[in-house]
Homo-oligomer: A and B are copies of this chain.
């Protein structure tokens, strides 16, 4: 039996379009017969190195204003409410550490979706460790044990390495998808194209 193709899903918890992608990637990938490798990372260091000290949606107000309307429309298409958390962007460090700690565990994807739902469907904070613990408990998980592992040196180092890997692979935004042959797709709008590519489909006349 052939191994299923896979895509890497690089996401940032502060990113609205990462939320939209996370909310439907499990179903879409299952339908396409594609496995998902979850890659929670931090976009902040990448933005900093190009001179941005906050979200480009804050730096460029016209773009930011549009983004919230676009996300509201796209969320509605998925049947989701859209609420802006304060502050925006949220500090995503604690959530990213836990999501990475659980990335290969059965609970990982559930945690990821729950964080995004709290942040962008309820508009509540995901910044403090207490918020993360609440989410873990809501999933019937051992919050104490998981927080301990997530904040341990090994996992912290792994998150830093993953963020460095994002930079070295020229990731400049989130979500970003990679197929196994290294094809890159940026943005929630490219999820279906990435899944199609992973299954061997090539658009039109492309060689």
Task: List residues of A whose CB falls within 8 A of some B CB.
Answer: 50, 60, 62-63, 65-66, 69-70, 72-74, 76-81, 170-173, 184-186, 189-190, 193, 202-206
Name the B residues within 8 Å of A79 (CB-CB): 204-205
Are B205 and A66 within 8 A (Cβ)?
no
| A42, chain B: closest CB distance, angstroms | 16
Report the separation of the CA atoms of residues A62 and B65 in the bound assembly, to the nearest whole angstrom.
Answer: 25
Contact A203 B62 (CB under 8 A): no
For A205, the chain B residues whose CB sits under 8 A away are 76, 79-81
7 new A-B contacts, CB < 8 A, other than A50-B60, A62-B170, A70-B190, are A62-B172, A63-B173, A65-B170, A69-B184, A70-B185, A76-B204, A76-B206
Residues B203 and A77 in contact, CB atoms below 8 Å apart: yes
Q: Known contacts A50-B60, A184-B66, A189-B189: does B73 contact A203 (CB below 8 Å)?
A: yes
Contact among B60, B74, B81, B193 for A203, CB-based, below 8 A: B74
The 11 listed contacts between A and B (C-beta, < 8 Å) are: A50-B60, A60-B172, A63-B173, A66-B184, A70-B185, A70-B186, A73-B206, A76-B206, A77-B203, A77-B204, A81-B205
